[in-house]
Structure 1
Amino acid sequence: MINIVYRLKSPKFFEESIDEIELDGVVVRPTYLSICQADQRYYQGSRPAEILDKKLPMALIHEGIGEVVFDSENNLKSGDKVVMIPNTPFGDDVCRANYSYKSKFRGSGFDGFTSDLIKLESDRVVKLPDNFNNHVSAFIELITVAYQGISKFNEMAITPKNRLGVWGDGNLGYITALLLKELWPESKVIVFGKHQENLNLFSFADETYRIHSVPDDLVIDHGFECVGSSASQSAIEQIIDLINPQGTINLFGVSEYPVPINTRMILEKGLTIQGNSRSEREDFVGVVELLTENPQLFEHLEKLISNVCEINSLSDLKEAFDKDYISKFGKTVLKWNK
């Protein structure tokens, strides 16, 4: 079957190419996609030159949903709505597939979802209820990243979870704080950020503080770093200062450069640091179940949507990336009409 793929050839330049797609596994027609900061780093050319040379041309975007066109195992019907899982395992490993060097990730290790059709293995899709909000569903993958990190935290934490601190007032910080409050409603969820206009949107949090206006006597039991880049250094430093002994520091932010950490205080307090990246099928299933059982979460998640762009051409796709780049907060959703 003929398939058209829309790849980033060089920063800010997309091109069309024609590929063959086999009628095997599950074939999905993308309907709603969402732009991630990782996509923007490729589009803006802010990744190191050697990485851009190695990975481009490549179709971007790893967050998205679509409609089933064909299922070789007949488990899904044509027209079923599914969320697509971008992490793709190759071979068995002792660790989870989202941490395995044998896995490839769409929009990073190989083509993402900007094409007419996507062929996936049957375990790389999860069926969605028809009544799920399409715009929110487009970034379920991002929600699963927070979900898998929180699941690991729950298994690892040995001290009370009375006061949970989230650093970062962006998209991932918002989702992480929301899930923490939903999963531990009796705990205090405290959000630390730089932008008051963003913090005002965290209506579900128990307390919010600008990072330079934190009470001297404030302490937390566990911390979640959702800042990334060079700013993660100051966030981690503040978490170490405020956290109780034997707490956990859960890292979600991505930095292109090494970040110094105060190991003396980590040793003194007996802290545990946990790294979190990407997600796997069980996280997608868990998030779909969580949203199904708690539909009120959609109301909060809808606040993250800053742009909805209809994509009918490559110029529309470029315009959507440019619009997303200047947005200070929220997700850009693409209604994929290609």
Structure 2
Amino acid sequence: MINPIYRLVAPRRIEVSYDVRSLKDDRVIVRPTHLSICHADQRYFTGNRSAEALAKKLPMAMIHEGIGKVVYDPAGRFKVGTKVAMVPNSPVDSDEIIGENYLRTSRFRSSGYDGYMQDYAFMKADRLVELPGSIDEEVAAFTELVSVAVHAITRFDSIAHSRREVFGIWGDGNLGFITALLLRKIYPKARLIIFGKTQEKLDYFSFASEVHHIERIPRDMKLNHAFECVGGIGSQYAVNQIIEHIDPEGTVALLGVSEDHVALNTRMILEKGLRVYGSSRSTPADFQKTMDLYEQYPDVPKYLANLVSSVHDIRCIDDIYRAFESDLTNGFGKTVLKWNM
């Protein structure tokens, strides 16, 4: 079959190309229905990456957050019409120690490999996770981002010591909101403290125990563990604030992506005996845990609905441009695309 793919060929320039795909392999064919724009997509769209990176990765179909409906499964594993979340990580190797999302050989959609901006996505069955029947599709569109937070918390659970009475979350954006919300459900008795720089965003964290502006943190603030969800050059200041306020032998989770090297107070990391770990992307198991959380805590998707800032009906390439330009002015929340190409 002929599959139209909408690829970014240069900053702010998308062109359609046509791939011929066989129906004889074992791939499940999924029609994308709802997609969500990520900061990484915006960096490619605006050209806010190095010339070397752009030359290496373009042309490329963007978007790695999305859901769709199964239209064909040669092995009958999914019924036609089944709503699924699509896992963007595609491993080509396996390792008994290293997770598939950390293997350097793994392929990741919309990062050098075509994402979901195409009429049909050809997926391995193990890269699809069925959605709960009641989930809001606009919320489900950014399940991948939620699964990243689930993955980070799962790793935290296996690394950190058992004193989990006070958590600090640095970052008042989408990832900070999601991580904090999940921590509230998983550790309901813990004191949950959010640190950010925009009061309007901090107001969304109604489930938190406390919120603090990063320039007005009490000197006697103490934390057992902390999650950094800032990214960019701001992560340098966030992590150093964490190092200042975290108790000895606490665990620091780094989730924010930065294009720049950042300077950290390694002396105090050593003196306090801190555990610092990085967490990136997610696996099908994390997607399934996310679905289980959606069903176990029905108010989680309701809270996540606060992140849906705008929804764009996509019927032509100009609609894609308008959605990405609109997303650039979005200070908080996710831009969702209803994929009707």
Instruction: Give the structure-1-normalised TM-score.
Output: 0.99
Partner of 1:103: 106
2:144 aligned with 1:141: yes
Partners of 1:123 and 1:40 in 2: how far apart?
28
Partner of 1:12: 12
| From 215, 220, 226, the counterpart of 1:223 | 226
> Shift of the alpha carbon at 1:298?
1.4
Contact kept? 2:139, 2:304, Cα under 8 Å: yes
Partners of 2:73 and 2:162 in 1: how far apart?
46
> Shift of the alpha carbon at 1:158?
1.1
Partner of 2:336: 333
> Shift of the alpha carbon at 1:159?
4.3
Partners of 1:95 and 1:330 in 2: how far apart?
32
> Shift of the alpha carbon at 1:162?
0.4
Partner of 2:212: 209
Partners of 1:58 and 1:70 in 2: how far apart?
24
Partners of 2:233 and 2:21 in 1: how far apart?
41
2:288 aligned with 1:285: yes
Q: Structure 2 counterpart of 1:321, which letter? A: F
Partner of 1:236: 239
- Spell out, residue by residue over 1:259-278, the C-alpha distance to the aligned partner (whole angstroms, 9 max, x if none): 11111000100000010000
Moved more, 134-143 or 212-221: 212-221
> Shift of the alpha carbon at 1:72?
1.6
2:304 aligned with 1:301: yes
Partner of 1:115: 118
Partner of 1:71: 73
Specify every segment of 5 or more residues in structure 2 that has no aligned partner in the other structure, as ranges: none
Contact kept? 1:177, 1:205, Cα under 8 Å: yes
Partner of 1:25: 27
Partners of 2:299 and 2:230 in 1: how far apart?
26
2:170 aligned with 1:180: no
Contact kept? 2:70, 2:84, Cα under 8 Å: yes
Partners of 1:126 and 1:141 in 2: how far apart?
11
Contact kept? 2:56, 2:112, Cα under 8 Å: no
Partner of 1:87: 89
Q: Structure 2 counterpart of 1:16, which letter? A: V
Partner of 2:203: 200
Contact kept? 1:159, 1:247, Cα under 8 Å: no
- Spell out, residue by residue over 1:21-77, the C-alpha distance to the aligned partner (whole angstroms, 9 max, x if none): 222321000000000000000001001110001110100000000000111210101
RMSD: 0.7
> Shift of the alpha carbon at 1:100?
0.5
Contact kept? 1:159, 1:246, Cα under 8 Å: no
> Shift of the alpha carbon at 1:129?
2.1
- Spell out, residue by residue over 1:93-134, the C-alpha distance to the aligned partner (whole angstroms, 9 max, x if none): 231000001100000030000000000101000011222100
| From 279, 289, 293, the counterpart of 1:276 | 279
Total equivalences in the alignment: 338
Partner of 2:2: 2
Contact kept? 2:89, 2:101, Cα under 8 Å: yes
Q: Structure 2 counterpart of 1:150, which letter? A: I
CA, structure 1 residues 159+271, in 2 after alignment: closer, same or farther (shift >3 Å)?
Answer: farther
- Secondary structure at 2:60's aligned position in 1? coil
Contact kept? 2:143, 2:287, Cα under 8 Å: yes
Partner of 1:161: 164
Partners of 2:82 and 2:6 in 1: how far apart?
24
Contact kept? 2:248, 2:274, Cα under 8 Å: yes
Partner of 1:263: 266
- Secondary structure at 1:244's aligned position in 2? strand
Instruction: Give the structure-2-normalised TM-score.
Output: 0.98
Q: Percent identity?
A: 50
Contact kept? 1:65, 1:138, Cα under 8 Å: yes
| From 251, 254, 257, the counterpart of 2:254 | 251
Partners of 2:73 and 2:91 in 1: how far apart?
20
Contact kept? 2:170, 2:228, Cα under 8 Å: yes
Partner of 2:62: 60
Partners of 1:241 and 1:27 in 2: how far apart?
50
- Secondary structure at 1:97's aligned position in 2? coil
Contact kept? 1:3, 1:20, Cα under 8 Å: yes
Partners of 2:268 and 2:128 in 1: how far apart?
43
Partners of 1:279 and 1:308 in 2: how far apart?
25
Partners of 1:263 and 1:170 in 2: how far apart?
26
Partners of 2:101 and 2:124 in 1: how far apart?
16
Partners of 2:102 and 2:74 in 1: how far apart?
29
Partners of 2:31 and 2:21 in 1: how far apart?
12
